[in-house]
Structure 1
Amino acid sequence: MLTGAIRSQVDRVWESFWSGGIANPLTVIEQITYLLFAKRLDDLHTAKEKKANLLGGKIEGPIFKKGQDHLRWSRFKDFEAERMFTVFRDEVFPLIKSLHSSNDSAFTRAMKDAVFIVSKPSLLQAVVDLIDKIPMDDRDTKGDLYEYMLGKIASAGQNGQFRTPRHIIRMMVEMMEPTPKDIIADPSCGTCGFLVEAGEYLRRHPKHKKLFHNKKQHEHFQTEMFHGDDFDSTMLRIGAMNMMLHGIESPNLTGEDSLSEDDAGVRDCYTLILANPPFKGSLNYDETAKDLLQTCKTKKTELLFIALFLAQLKAGGRCAAIVPDGVLFGSSNAHQAIRAELVDGHKLDAVIDMPSGVFKPYAGVSTAILIFTKTNSGGTDHVWFYNMAADGYSLDDKREKIEADDIPDVLASWKKRDPSKPSDRKAKSFFVPVEEIRENKYDLSINRYKEIEYEEVEYDPPLVILDQLESLEKEIAGDLKKLRKMLK
């Protein structure tokens, strides 16, 4: 857990970046990421040294070669500002980039086009001092530090990207209940929030404690469990570091456009997908994977991503994805086709309607969460709907903590849901039979099915109301006469 003092230090360094001319929050995090990685390399080399000393042999796969000791964090952090700046810019940073040739980690792959843009030795020294004071051997502290920095992203990125609130991510992961055997993916991973939270869920859940004591399961966790795609190399760098700081050493992150024909080989691979794909944007048909267009003939990315999730899941695989409300009730052929595919071709489990302020201050768009299972043979009997009115934060740009919060009830209601019991459509959650959904052209908007209870209001008879109006007119006329006399 980050202390108030550490948060204040981060804030001061953040202000230093801004005053130094680096104003883009993603760029700030990216530059800090390089330093965190440099420190991690020194920690890894130190661990290799200790192992070699213990066994009385040579260091296996040393990161720093002979004559490179001054490139280690533990050495250059004590240099005066000018020398530290020169060493990091001209030697440490090129070393990090060169690791791509010998280390095939997600981070080093993403580093190939990285640029170090800190221009002031004093700024570099301030950031190094900050990071050095934080107990980075604690995985939770490292993760909290990075989450705190990511929370400073206050504007939408390119192509409709913006950060999904952590409490919404956690709710979705809790609902999907990842297991140690899952192969988890986010085809639009960004900062890897969903993948990180899935890993944290497995760490904190009592029934999965054995995962980290079973060699085979632990190796699966570190190398094969987590997969992510994002064509933005900056996001990949940030996402890879986010995962490493949360103890996931070798995630499978690639810089591909998931919807393109180039990535069409990734099919029937995953058992669980968690995602918040870009809402805005469209692609040319020539650029889009042909099998996705067969499922849904459209240029709209929010519809193509649903087709992609179905294509990438293994049979029996599950998905929880955030979609704009338009996906639920859009009347175009493509909108109806993708909803029909979910309902008739597979098993649509749930639609959770979220309040429109969830993504403020980034965007005010109304959204919902779709939960479905790939079956290739239908299986939808009833769809569970939930009308989520509050998420624990104010729904304005300030997003301040408030008492109203439906998330605990969402989780509790999801676990105890039972379509065989009577369903009250005036309640927050209820079931709708598949036949009714088909009759409504696969409309999945909650307002189509929710019953609203109106309070009966009794009004006076019309003649009584007219008498009251006449009396008011007489009073007004009398007041006007008095005013005229006062003005004479």
Structure 2
Amino acid sequence: MAKRPAAAPQTTAQRLDSIVKSARQIMRKDKGLNGDLDRLPLLTWVLFLKFLDDMERIHEDEAVLAGKPFHAAIDPPYRWRDWAARRDGITGPDLIRFLAAEETIRPDGSKGPGLFAYLRSLRGRDGVRDRRDVIATVFAEMTNRMESGYLLRDVVNLVDAIHFDASEEIHTLSRLYEGLLREMRDAAGDSGEFYTPRAVVRFMVAVTNPRLGEVVLDPACGTGGFLAEAFEHLSAQVRTTEDREVLQDRSLVGGEAKRLPFLLAQMNLLLHGLEAPDIALGNTLSRQRLTQIGERDRVNVILTNPPFGGEEEVGIQANFPDDRRTNETAMLFLQLIMRRLKRHGQGRAAVIVPNGTLFEGGVAARVKADLLREFNLHTVLRLPEGVFAPYTDIPTNVIFFDTSGPTQAISYWQQPAPEGRRKYSKTAPLQFEDLADCLAWWGARGEDPRAWTVPAEGLIRTDAEGRVLAVNLDLKNPNAVEAEDHRTPAEIVSGMVAREAQVLDLLREIEALVAERA
């Protein structure tokens, strides 16, 4: 009888994917976990602690070789190697108590705080922010929903087989992790908060081209995609030890309102190599009044996809000027971004906005007038339908501006739909290579049927007293040949409703002006 051929050895990617799938399968057996919104965060913090311990080992070895002192972020018996690395280690109810209790018997037999309580108490040494502060913030409100300590031990044993001291394994897991982030967003279904496709993130970072020594901010960083891509972009510029210190200590800043994306962002950035991510937990819009933002708060580069469609409370709106207040989250973020950029040509931004932002009136029109008058809105990238599938089919745009303003002219690029298809989709997403022509056009701005330039003069419509009535940036490509309309009836109706809303906004503006003059 012929011998069955030996199975091919698993690649790193296949092995890691197998580990994660097995861990998720185990978690499905636990009665305390209800769906991926419970399972994925648990898997994330388990991976987080294993990763930290492996990084600590590497740093300790480096310190020994360099003859320098080493200060661990996590002390015994709370390190992964102390309680998790032994396959026959603490398990069952003892493991659950060790994680969650304020005070318990620790794996070494001594009495002390439980793991989460200890991690929450960590503080940076000598008042200097370091990885201990990051850990404390991550675990500030962390809870363990898993009821079976035996099943949890099985998950821990699986994760212990991942070795983050191997560069290939770190790189592979970071890509696998991005898949988990997308799943998390799908499971959460947060309105207006969409996972930004990696192709769009890469393009925005490439054309804004952050330089080492500049500060990059994402004020609504979600799971950290823009900051992770910016870190990789800046890493390629590191040549010396001093360069590395600049990259690690004062290059990337973020803010995130929700705790779960905040945790995921920390893990994402740690996986990419940022040792102590500087991400503030809380709504960036609520931190200070717009008028209180000064030079020390300003940064060189802002890259972001702010949430839109949300409604901010009155207390947050109070941080904005009276005639610029709105409950629309995206419009408030746009004002914040404009204020946070360094002046005199030293600041630049790339911001994703929904189509409505380009043509909406009212407060939106006044903010866009500010943008044209005080900043150089040099480029609008018009993305086709489906780029943000499955979250929304709403067409989106990326606006690029800097502080060398005011705007003289705006260049537009209409990214076409994929060849042979009406739109992009979840199963056939936009790829970075699809934007190659736009990237090639970017520098020279030569003739191209997908590009056109519009003078800024005349875009702001005002009344006799100079009050802004409308600013329409929703401009169509004059080079485009009218194509057959393939929209569904529902899509056509949706477009008509959007246009009707625009007309109603203008009518309200006129009505208000008439009432003022009466």
TM norm structure 1: 0.79
Q: CA deviation at 1:122?
A: 4.2
The one of 204, 207, 219 aligned to 1:175: 207
Q: CA deviation at 1:185?
A: 0.6
SS of equivalent residue, structure 1 residue 384: strand
**Compared with structure 1, are the counterparts of its residues 299 and 48 closer, same or farther at alpha carbon in structure 2 (3 Å cutoff)?**
closer
Deviations 1:235-277 (A, max 9, x none): 2111111111110112221112111254755544211001011
Please say which of residues 4-13 and 107-116 is displaced more in the overlay: 4-13
Identity of aligned residues (%): 28
Asked whether the equivalents of residues 230 and 254 of structure 1 are also in contact (C-alpha less than 8 Å), the reply is yes
Q: CA deviation at 1:129?
A: 3.2
SS of equivalent residue, structure 2 residue 194: coil
Q: CA deviation at 1:405?
A: 6.2
Please say which of residues 349-358 and 321-330 is displaced more in the overlay: 349-358
Following the alignment from structure 1 to structure 2, what is the Cα–Cα distance between the partners of residues 57 and 181?
27
Show the counterpart of 2:392: 363
Show the counterpart of 1:467: none
Asked whether the equivalents of residues 394 and 400 of structure 1 are also in contact (C-alpha less than 8 Å), the reply is no
SS of equivalent residue, structure 2 residue 20: helix
SS of equivalent residue, structure 2 residue 233: helix
Following the alignment from structure 2 to structure 1, what is the Cα–Cα distance between the partners of residues 430 and 265?
30
The one of 352, 356, 361 aligned to 1:322: 352
Q: CA deviation at 1:379?
A: 2.9
Letter matched to residue 308 of structure 1: L
Asked whether the equivalents of residues 100 and 143 of structure 2 are also in contact (C-alpha less than 8 Å), the reply is no
Residue 140 (1) aligns with residue 171 (2): yes
Q: CA deviation at 1:454?
A: 4.7
Describe how 1:179-194 pairs up with structure 2 within 5 A: 179-194=211-226
Following the alignment from structure 2 to structure 1, what is the Cα–Cα distance between the partners of residues 453 and 382?
14
Q: CA deviation at 1:356?
A: 2.4
The one of 385, 390, 397 aligned to 2:412: 385
Describe how 1:453-472 pairs up with structure 2 within 5 A: 453-454=481-482
The one of 210, 223, 245 aligned to 1:219: 245
Deviations 1:282-320 (A, max 9, x none): 223432353x33572322111111101011111131110
Show the counterpart of 2:116: 93
SS of equivalent residue, structure 1 residue 372: strand
**Compared with structure 1, are the counterparts of its residues 454 and 253 closer, same or farther at alpha carbon in structure 2 (3 Å cutoff)?**
closer
Deviations 1:29-60 (A, max 9, x none): 32122212322343344346546765889754
Show the counterpart of 1:6: 16
Asked whether the equivalents of residues 222 and 248 of structure 1 are also in contact (C-alpha less than 8 Å), the reply is yes
The one of 6, 20, 30 aligned to 1:20: 30
**Compared with structure 1, are the counterparts of its residues 246 and 438 closer, same or farther at alpha carbon in structure 2 (3 Å cutoff)?**
same
Please say which of residues 344-353 and 161-170 is displaced more in the overlay: 161-170
Letter matched to residue 146 of structure 1: Y
Following the alignment from structure 1 to structure 2, what is the Cα–Cα distance between the partners of residues 93 and 129?
19
**Compared with structure 1, are the counterparts of its residues 163 and 62 closer, same or farther at alpha carbon in structure 2 (3 Å cutoff)?**
closer
SS of equivalent residue, structure 1 residue 446: coil
The one of 126, 134, 145 aligned to 1:106: 134
Following the alignment from structure 2 to structure 1, what is the Cα–Cα distance between the partners of residues 439 and 282?
34
For these two proteins, the number of residue pairs brought into alignment is 438
Larger gyration radius, structure 1 or structure 2: 1
Following the alignment from structure 1 to structure 2, what is the Cα–Cα distance between the partners of residues 25 and 86?
24
**Compared with structure 1, are the counterparts of its residues 412 and 54 closer, same or farther at alpha carbon in structure 2 (3 Å cutoff)?**
closer
**Compared with structure 1, are the counterparts of its residues 245 and 215 closer, same or farther at alpha carbon in structure 2 (3 Å cutoff)?**
same
Instruction: Give the alignment's Cα RMSD to 1 decimal.
Output: 3.3
Show the counterpart of 2:516: none
Q: CA deviation at 1:135?
A: 3.2
Q: Structure 2 unaligned runs (5+)?
A: 1-10, 102-113, 126-130, 463-469, 485-518
**Compared with structure 1, are the counterparts of its residues 328 and 58 closer, same or farther at alpha carbon in structure 2 (3 Å cutoff)?**
closer
Deviations 1:139-196 (A, max 9, x none): 4234223223213232454453221111211111112111112201111111011000
Q: CA deviation at 1:24?
A: 4.8
TM norm structure 2: 0.75
Q: CA deviation at 1:87?
A: 4.4
Residue 308 (1) aligns with residue 336 (2): yes
Show the counterpart of 1:195: 227
Q: CA deviation at 1:351?
A: 0.8
Higher share of residues assigned helix: 1
Describe how 1:45-444 pairs up with structure 2 within 5 A: 45-47=56-58, 50=61, 60-61=71-72, 63-65=74-76, 72=82, 75-79=85-89, 81-82=91-92, 87-89=98-100, 91-100=114-123, 104-137=132-165, 138=167, 139-153=170-184, 154-158=186-190, 160-203=192-235, 205=236, 208=237, 211=238, 213-262=239-288, 267-268=294-295, 269-288=298-317, 290=319, 292-293=320-321, 296-315=324-343, 316=345, 317-330=347-360, 332-375=361-404, 378-390=405-417, 395=423, 398-400=426-428, 406-417=434-445, 427-438=449-460, 441-444=470-473
**Compared with structure 1, are the counterparts of its residues 232 and 201 closer, same or farther at alpha carbon in structure 2 (3 Å cutoff)?**
same
Q: Structure 1 unaligned runs (5+)?
A: 457-488
